[in-house]
Amino acid sequence: MAVPGNTFQRAGKVAVRESLHDTISNIAPTQTPFISNIGSGNANQTYEEWLTDTLAAADADNKVIDGDDAANDALTDAVRLGNYTQLMDKVVGISSTTQAVKSAGNQTKMAYQMLKKSKEIKRDMEKRFCGNFAAVPLANGTAGESAGMVAFIRTNGSRGAGGAAATLSGTTAGYVNAAATNGTLRNFTEALIKDAIQDAWNEGGEPTMALMSGTLKQTASTFAGIADIRKDAPGSKAATIIGAADVYVSDFGNISFTPSRFTTGRDVSIIDTSLWELLYLQRFSTAELAKTGHADRKMLSVQATLKCANELGNANIADVQAA
């Protein structure tokens, strides 16, 4: 039907109030399953060091003749490892006019922006500390960088063709000075994860978590016989697992299959969480920066490094893709 003449329609009306909701929708993920499940401690220097040691292989032929002289056994020294701290920050600058005007959702307020930045910096930490990154020594004009979890695990697990483990600055000691080299991608299979769990167990580890991307987690859920090797976390205890997880009942203990949005996407890391620690040289702090004209500025910062007490108790399946 035709609109009658002189009808005042909405499209031509000027004196209309806008309807802008005060709620701001932000669904960006903030789960940090790696750094949330490992230990936390303090660092005292920009380069933190620790020692690892091991026992000689078990010897079924350990026998001596009655009355025989005693010979000294071979001794091995402890291995000295280390990692550099990494300083991270987020800076917010908001003009006085922006803060003064009425706005929806408080997005122009300093407190709102600082809360956003605190979530962002935790995501940055998760991506760095669970990744395949080498350490970089602190120097004049050079920012120190922490090695990541994937680079630390050099011994156990498997790699695709052409892949190589990360290297240490002192060959068998020191810090991770080169990240692992990617190999040819291959399908992620249950056989690979069984072998990796056993490798970690053989060395004395007690892994409890398998950290992987969401895509690889979906592949893990299709493993043959998965219904027989999964169990529900009882009652309210499911809430203690950071992020959704299935419990894989292996021959060497229960492993939480934990998806993470911040992994490399090509690694499945079998982790004994008791062997990892995040060491803080400077814990989270907020500082008022010098006022620049008609603007206020604040900085959120943190400085930390990753410690792996002994990489032998963990395993990493590298170069895998969804089957």
Classify residue 294 by its DSSP letter. S
Model pLDDT, residue 292: 81
Model pLDDT, residue 97: 86
User: What are residue 204's phi and psi, to 5 degrees?
Assistant: 105, 0
Q: What is the DSSP string of 179-232?
A: PPBP---EE--HHHHHHHHHHHHHTT----EEEE-HHHHHHHTTSTTGGGSEEP
Model pLDDT, residue 175: 97
The token duo for 119 is 């979530």
Model pLDDT, residue 112: 86
**Contacts of 320 by beta carbon, 8 Å cutoff, 6+ apart:** 160, 185, 186, 187, 188, 192, 216, 266, 267, 268
Tens place of pLDDT per residue across the chain (323 aa) = 686 664 555 666 666 666 555 555 565 666 899 999 999 999 999 999 999 998 889 999 999 999 999 999 899 899 999 999 999 999 999 888 888 887 776 666 888 888 999 999 999 999 999 999 999 999 999 999 999 999 999 999 899 999 999 999 999 999 999 999 999 999 999 999 999 999 999 999 999 999 999 999 999 987 754 445 545 555 555 444 444 457 788 889 889 899 999 999 999 999 999 999 999 999 999 999 998 889 999 999 999 999 999 999 999 999 999 98
pTM of the model: 0.85
- 174 phi-psi bin (left φ>0, alpha ψ -120 to 50, beta other): left
**Contacts of 85 by beta carbon, 8 Å cutoff, 6+ apart:** 43, 45, 46, 47, 48, 138, 144, 146, 279, 281, 303, 304, 305
